[in-house]
């Protein structure tokens, strides 16, 4: 059977509320670990030193946008799913869900340069409804990607293409930070919906990013028993800079 590719999937029907309920209504230990990793990455930058940052395939997850706020004057949250875009727009136009307050508090505890309130942390975010594959190369100073490339296709070549587009989204010498589900198979969200997965591990992530980056650091954390069992074995975390030439 041919692998499911990104364009085979109706992303507009992504079950946002089920996804949030399973993953982000409370702050799980694995996300605290991701936040710690990403906070260390962002602390290397002076406040607001990045003119433009990117969240590559933002989905309905607000904490990567919060994390980028200290370093970035503008954050483009690029998302293809109409359901994801609608959720993000509501969070910015109205008061963000209270469930994100503990995430903001942890982010600010780890990086005091963050704005003191959640609405102010999100003030620089611009939601962009579009295909991340259409982004021009070299448009951003910093790019973040969280649980995207390995969760939108079963095709390893397409996973690699998404990763390379992510790496090329920043200027040469620009900075990258990312998180991946480790060994994620095709997975379920909510009671019925199923979505494509491409199993990867630290060695695979290193191999995919090494040709385009330098200062590449790849680590992992174990599976989180407080999360639903999606079949993964943990998370893979990455930081790097885009190779100059």
Give the CA count within 13 Å in the CB-facing half-sphere of 39.
20
C-alpha gyration radius of the chain: 16
Give the separation between CA 208 and CA 49, rounded to whole angstroms.
Answer: 29
Binned at pLDDT 50, 70 and 90, residue 45 comes out as: very high
H or E, element range at 194: strand 193-195
For the stretch 182-207, pLDDT in tens is: 999 888 898 778 899 999 999 999 99
Angle, CA 91 vertex, CA 159 and CA 84 arms, to 5°: 30
Best CA proximity match to 121, nearest among 48, 211, 54: 48
How many alpha carbons lie under 13 Å from residue 234 in its C-beta half-sphere? 9
Residue 163 has a pLDDT of: 98
* pLDDT tens readout for residues 119-156: 999 999 999 999 999 999 999 999 999 999 999 999 99
CA-CA distances (angstroms) from residue 17 to 22, 24, 59, 76, 196?
9, 10, 12, 22, 19
Distance, CA of 124 to CA of 53 (rounded, Å): 10
Does the predicted TM-score (pTM) go above 0.85? Answer: yes
């Amino acid at each position: 059977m041919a692998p499911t590719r990104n364009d085979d999937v109706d992303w507009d029907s992504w079950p946002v509320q089920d996804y949030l309920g399973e993953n982000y209504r409370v702050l799980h230990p694995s996300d605290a670990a991701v936040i710690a990793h990403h906070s260390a990455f962002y602390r290397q930058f002076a406040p607001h030193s990045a003119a433009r940052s990117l969240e590559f395939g933002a989905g309905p997850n607000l904490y990567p946008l919060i994390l980028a706020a200290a370093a970035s004057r503008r954050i483009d949250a690029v998302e293809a799913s109409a359901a994801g875009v609608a959720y993000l727009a509501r969070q910015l136009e109205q008061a963000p869900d209270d469930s994100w307050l503990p995430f903001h508090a942890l982010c600010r505890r780890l990086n005091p340069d963050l704005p003191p309130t959640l609405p102010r942390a999100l003030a620089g975010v611009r939601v962009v409804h579009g295909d991340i594959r259409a982004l021009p190369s070299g448009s951003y100073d910093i790019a973040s990607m969280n649980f995207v490339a390995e969760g939108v296709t079963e095709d390893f070549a397409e996973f690699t293409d998404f990763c390379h587009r992510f790496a090329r989204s920043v200027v040469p010498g620009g900075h990258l930070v990312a998180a991946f589900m480790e060994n994620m198979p095709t997975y379920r969200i909510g009671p019925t919906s199923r979505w494509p997965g491409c199993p990867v591990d630290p060695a695979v992530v290193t191999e995919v990013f090494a040709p385009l980056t330098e200062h590449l650091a790849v680590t992992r954390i174990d599976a989180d028993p407080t999360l639903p069992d999606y079949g993964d074995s943990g998370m893979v975390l990455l930081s790097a800079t885009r190779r100059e030439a």
